[in-house]
């Protein structure tokens, strides 16, 4: 687990900016940070993703968790780490990727579905686990998975999460510690105003889920 990552110091909502272009990435990230976000992920299948990550690291990397998603190979992980990023998120469990991220001090969240993957990821040094896609498990499957994981495991469901208490709170009640947010937060065709509104709604829904 990254020694730098402390959940209580973060808004545990990872903003997934899939498709963002380097020319837009600073502006979009500023909108999200203003709304309260502290964790920004640029999937590597976005245009010139490493350029975007490098720009964000240079601007925000000292104060926020900035990095890459869709990291599937050791080579990709090394390229991301070379930008100075401190966040690595994957759609799958690759032991080499997790170990490289952990050794570099990055907050590392590999994608898992099964208990075998989850325990292997934690043993490899993962900060937490990305439950992806959460729809593959459903509520009953997620509950069963949580029942066997170590109590303090940081589980972040991803996929189809909406900015409502109804979407977040049931998963939090089962043990979710945070979420990865994709198209319901950001897509390249959204206006800045829409992104701002989405970000505010997610922050309100998360805070509301803690309160009720």
- The H or E element that residue 149 is part of is none
Mark 114-126 as b/e (b = at least 16 C-beta within 10 Å): eeeebbbbbebbb
Supply φ then ψ for residue 104, to 5 degrees. -85, 0
Length of the chain: 212
Predicted local confidence at residue 3, as pLDDT: 54
- Interstrand relation of 107-109 and 111-112 (parallel, antiparallel or unpaired): unpaired
What pTM was computed for the model? 0.96
**Edge-to-edge strands of the sheet including 155-157?**
111-112, 129-131, 155-157
Q: Which of 23, 34, 41, 62 is catalytic?
A: 41
Asked if 130 is an active-site residue, the reply is yes
The DSSP result for 155-204, as a single string, is: EEEBSS--SSHHHHHHHHHTT---EEE-TTT--TTS-HHHHHHHHHHHHH
Cα–Cα distance measured from residue 53 to residue 76, given in angstroms and rounded to the nearest whole number: 13
Nearest alpha-carbon partner for 203 in 8, 15, 9, 4: 15
Q: Which of 75, 130, 143, 166 is catalytic?
A: 130
Predicted local confidence at residue 7, as pLDDT: 85
- Residue 88 forms beta bridges with which residues? 68, 108
Cα–Cα distance measured from residue 122 to residue 29, given in angstroms and rounded to the nearest whole number: 29
Q: Is 41 helix (H, G, I), strand (E, B) or coil?
A: strand
What the chain holds in terms of domains, given with CATH numbers, is: 9-211 (3.20.20.70)
Predicted local confidence at residue 4, as pLDDT: 74
- pLDDT tens sequence for the chain (212 residues): 455 788 889 999 999 999 999 999 999 999 999 999 999 999 999 999 999 999 999 999 889 999 999 999 999 999 999 999 999 999 999 999 999 999 999 999 999 999 999 999 999 999 999 999 999 999 999 999 999 999 999 999 999 999 999 999 999 999 999 999 999 999 999 999 999 999 999 999 999 999 87
Cα–Cα distance measured from residue 85 to residue 49, given in angstroms and rounded to the nearest whole number: 12
Rg of the chain (C-alpha set): 16
């Amino acid at each position: 687990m990254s020694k730098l990552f402390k959940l209580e110091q973060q808004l545990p909502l990872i903003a997934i900016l899939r498709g963002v272009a380097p020319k837009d990435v600073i502006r979009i990230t500023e909108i999200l940070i203003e709304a309260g976000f502290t964790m920004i992920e640029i999937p590597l299948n976005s245009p010139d993703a490493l350029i975007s990550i490098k720009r964000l690291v240079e601007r925000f990397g000292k104060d926020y968790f900035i990095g890459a998603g869709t990291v599937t190979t050791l080579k990709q992980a090394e390229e991301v780490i070379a930008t100075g990023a401190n966040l690595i998120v994957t759609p799958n469990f690759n032991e080499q990727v997790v170990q490289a991220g952990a050794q570099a001090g990055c907050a590392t969240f590999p994608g898992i579905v099964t208990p075998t993957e989850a325990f292997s990821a934690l043993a490899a040094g993962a900060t937490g686990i990305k439950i992806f896609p959460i729809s593959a498990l459903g509520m009953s499957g997620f509950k069963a998975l949580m029942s066997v994981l170590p109590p303090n495991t940081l589980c972040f469901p991803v996929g189809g999460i909406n900015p409502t208490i109804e979407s977040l709170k049931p998963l939090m009640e089962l043990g979710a510690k945070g979420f990865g947010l994709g198209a319901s937060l950001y897509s390249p065709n959204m206006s800045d105003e829409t992104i701002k509104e989405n970000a505010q709604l997610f922050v309100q829904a998360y805070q509301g889920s803690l309160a009720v």
